[in-house]
Amino acid sequence: MSTKTALITGITGQDGAYLAELLLSKGYIVHGIKRRSSLFNTDRIDHLYQDPHVDGRRLILHYGDLTDAANLTRIVAEVQPDEVYNLGAQSHVAVSFEAPEYTANVDALGTLRLLEAIRSCGLQAKTRFYQASSSEMFGLVQQTPQTEQTPFHPRSPYGVAKLYAHWITVNYREAWGLFAVSGILFNHESPQRGETFVTRKVTRGLARVALGLQECLYLGNLEARRDWGHARDYVHAQWLMLQQAQPRDYVIATGHQHSVREFVQQAAAELGLVLSFSGHGPDEVGTVAGRTARADEWGITAQVGQVLLRIDPRYWRPAEVDTLLGDASLARAELGWAPSVSFEALVTEMVAHDLAQARREQVVRDAGFTVNRRFE
Ligand code: NDP
Ligand code: GDR
């Protein structure tokens, strides 16, 4: 067991929660930065929570923000981390078109602030740094599959901000000798995925529609193709990158690609529903064309002929990333990393989770209480 100390920004997010779990299981003392919020925002890590009034805690949370350099410097000075994982970000690509300056401030300059905090605390020889880079940096892809050598062409304020963060991480490695690496991670999902990313929106939305809690699921571009893996596998790769003898950037991906449409069909099939599509562009709809035995077994109320899915052009992006497919050969060879969860198993796990959640909502509704109506 290790007695290392890690600091995680974005610990309340999908990856932060899985990484905190992994590091605690390895004996780390884990510090995390959470944002002040008017409501509790630690749902994903509540199972790891340790009472601050009891001595010997191994999970310690600090209030902070990537836009606040003084705060980051104080926390780094206090924690003296062996490893820093910079997972905090405004991570939604579509939202980055609405809030480009904020996205740049958090995702690009936030990374610089954190690197500078390590340097100004004199920790560049001690602290290893992981940057959450993204396949979105490839954007308009110029080579398939994408590797560490593929040129970047980001297509959103998010992608551009992440590219700055990527290069400033390289620069601190080259200029100051920091053990600083970027994981160029392709999309990774789980039942802990934020509800407005497409996979979770689909599994949650279809489960709710299937049980009559929501009338219809609205989506944007069904043709986009992504390389989807499981977040638990991907945080393991993040940790492995900081355990190497030499700092190096790695692509992390499954090497398999599916369209949003295929994801929807697979999720519907999990619920015992066969979907057929008709119409074009904004008029396209997805209708129940058949029910399998599973739909009866699971008490699914959606019937043949019912429209489950409609297109809402609001979800089309001003500039889209049409296709991403990663080649993680270098990570396989040097980190000994490989994904362990298939596309089908990922969809199964997410649908099962969201169906169970929808059933709980059904009980609440049937008891006469209001259910959550948010489904953006
Ligand atoms: P999430 O959106 O689930 O989590 C983002 C985290 O960042 C949350 O804890 C959030 O806090 C925090 N955060 C947001 N703004 C700030 C801020 N101003 N200061 C401090 N913290 C902030 O993302 P994921 O867990 O999915 O992703 C983790 C990282 O990996 C992100 O940087 C993302 O861009 C990157 N990435 C993700 C991929 C994926 O497919 N998941 C692929 C490639 C890269 P709060 O909970 O309060 O909102
Ligand atoms: P992405 O993930 O943009 O790849 O970024 P997202 O799930 O948001 O979109 C994937 C694709 O699905 C299309 N799409 C929709 N997307 C959303 N969110 N909502 C919809 O209704 C919808 N309909 C179709 C999108 O247009 C897109 O093509 C994620 C984030 O986790 C980033 O932080 C990370 O860096 C990248 O993955 C790799």
Ligand nearest to the CA of 204: 2
Confidence at residue 374, expressed as pLDDT on a 0 to 100 scale? 62
Q: Residue 130 pairs with which residues in a beta bridge? A: 85, 181
Domain extents in the chain: 5-185, 198-225+259-322+343-366
Determine whether 179 is exposed, middle or buried from the number of CB atoms within 10 Å of its CB (0-12, 13-18, 19+).
buried
Nearest atom within ligand 1 for CA of residue 194 = 3
The response to whether residue 288 sits with its C-beta less than 6 Å from ligand 1 reads: no
Nearest atom within ligand 2 for CA of residue 219 = 21
Ligand 1, atom 28, residue with closest C-alpha = 87
Ligand 2, atom 10, residue with closest C-alpha = 198
Residue 19 and residue 85 in contact, taking contact as beta carbons nearer than 8 Å: yes
The response to whether residue 93 sits with its C-beta less than 6 Å from ligand 2 reads: yes
With a pLDDT cut of 90, the percent of the chain lying above it is 94
User: pLDDT digits over 95-113, tens only?
Assistant: 999 999 999 999 999 999 9
- How far does residue 14's CA lie from ligand 1's centre (Å)? 7
CATH class of 5-185: alpha beta
Q: How far apart are CA 95 and CA 268, in angstroms?
A: 27
Picking from 6, 82, 46, 25, the residue whose alpha carbon sits closest to that of residue 232 is 25
Q: Looking at this predicted complex, what is its ipTM?
A: 0.99
For residues 2-28, give the mean pLDDT.
97
Best mutation site among 8, 11, 15 for ligand 1 pocket (most ligand atoms within 8 Å of CB): 15
0.90 exceeded by the pTM? yes
Q: How far apart are CA 283 and CA 265, in angstroms?
A: 18
Residue 72 and residue 86 in contact, taking contact as beta carbons nearer than 8 Å: no
The response to whether residue 346 sits with its C-beta less than 6 Å from ligand 1 reads: no
With residue 173 as reference, give the H or E element that holds it: helix 157-176
> How many of the other CB atoms lie within 10 Å of CB of 186?
26
Ligand nearest to the CA of 234: 1
Tell me the three-class secondary structure of 217-236, residue by residue.
EEECCCCCEECCEEHHHHHH
Q: How far apart are CA 122 and CA 177, in angstroms?
A: 12
The response to whether residue 326 sits with its C-beta less than 6 Å from ligand 1 reads: no
For residues 197-207, give the mean pLDDT.
98
Which two three-digit tokens encode residue 135? 């396949």
Q: How far apart are CA 169 and CA 164, in angstroms?
A: 8
Q: In whole angstroms, what separates CA 326 from the centre of its chain?
A: 16
Best mutation site among 40, 48, 87, 131 for ligand 1 pocket (most ligand atoms within 8 Å of CB): 87
Pick the CATH number of 198-225+259-322+343-366 from 3.90.25.10, 3.30.200.210, 3.90.700.10, 3.40.50.2000: 3.90.25.10
Ligand nearest to the CA of 75: 1
Which two three-digit tokens encode residue 131? 């940057």
With residue 60 as reference, give the H or E element that holds it: strand 59-63
Confidence at residue 1, expressed as pLDDT on a 0 to 100 scale? 66
**198-225+259-322+343-366 matches 5-185 in CATH topology:** no
For tokens 């058949």, what's the residue? 290
Confidence at 371, pLDDT banded by 50, 70, 90: confident
Confidence at 370, pLDDT banded by 50, 70, 90: confident
Q: Which amino acid is at 121?
A: C
With a pLDDT cut of 70, the percent of the chain lying above it is 98
Confidence at residue 373, expressed as pLDDT on a 0 to 100 scale? 64
Ligand nearest to the CA of 238: 1
The response to whether residue 220 sits with its C-beta less than 6 Å from ligand 2 reads: yes
Q: How far apart are CA 93 and CA 139, in angstroms?
A: 11
